[in-house]
Structure 1
Amino acid sequence: MACVSSSSFLLLKQPTFSPRSKPSNHFSTRRRVVVVRAEAMSTTTIEKLGVKIERNPPESKLTELGVRQWPKWGCPPSKFPWTYSDKETCYLLEGKVKVYPDGSNEGVEIGAGDLVVFPKGMSCTWDVSVGVDKHYKFG
């Protein structure tokens, strides 16, 4: 399978067997092209208002960090204040949240598939619009 990058798309060329050929390892010259949005496959890291967010981290990174062995926490849609007494790293399995750091009218949106780091000492308000299920680690 060959990959060809084209702006925000990846074109994956998959070999197909010729309908006239007998079962063998022979491939025809015809190709089927599969288009996959690159955003669905890429990892993006941003830092906003002191919160670091890595969207769609590779499974290899989650394994390296031991994320699946971290404790879990969840909550239904709600709004509440929170202060981080230590740095927290969390991985959202489900949910959608807008976090408003104290002193800012702007929020940071996080959701399922995000690996997020909140700095020690941050005070904020969590506005949970879709129930959260996450792995977390302090320190």
Structure 2
Amino acid sequence: MSMVRTASAQYQPLGKDGQGHVSLGSGVLSEQPYGFNTRFEDKQGTNPEELIAAAHASCYAMALSFGLAEAGFESGKLNVDAAVTLEKDGDGFTVTQSALVLNAKVDGMDEKEFEAVANDAKNNCPISKLLNAEITLEYSFQN
């Protein structure tokens, strides 16, 4: 099975003075502004790293949810935050890390078993596999 999801971006004029708009194929995000000032300053709008963080947090939460269900647990709640770090790298920039922070409550589950499932999801969710960056996970757990 293969699935293709789409997004589009435009940017003009060129360079730091340019402004862009990004839209998702689903229409959930449409013509959201981005540019130098939304990426490196505090202007309202989005940026690629924020979009990657949203993708990683949601992908990880879903992968962990499926892993927990496969382990026989169906009652609980997962809250995931992701912080994506962009660092100067020579003349350009590199995404160096995606730090996942998880707050989990899984009824009736042992924490040691939870940790194994949580780390497996961290290593194997599709967005984790996509990123060429350090991926860390911190969590708080309740059963």
TM-score by length of 1: 0.23
Q: Indicate the structure with greater strand content.
A: 1
Q: Per chain length, whose mean CA-contact separation is higher, i.e. which structure has more relative contact order (CA < 8 Å, sep 6+)? A: 1
- Please tell me whether Structure 1 or Structure 2 has the larger radius of gyration of its CA atoms: 1
TM-score in terms of structure 2 length? 0.23
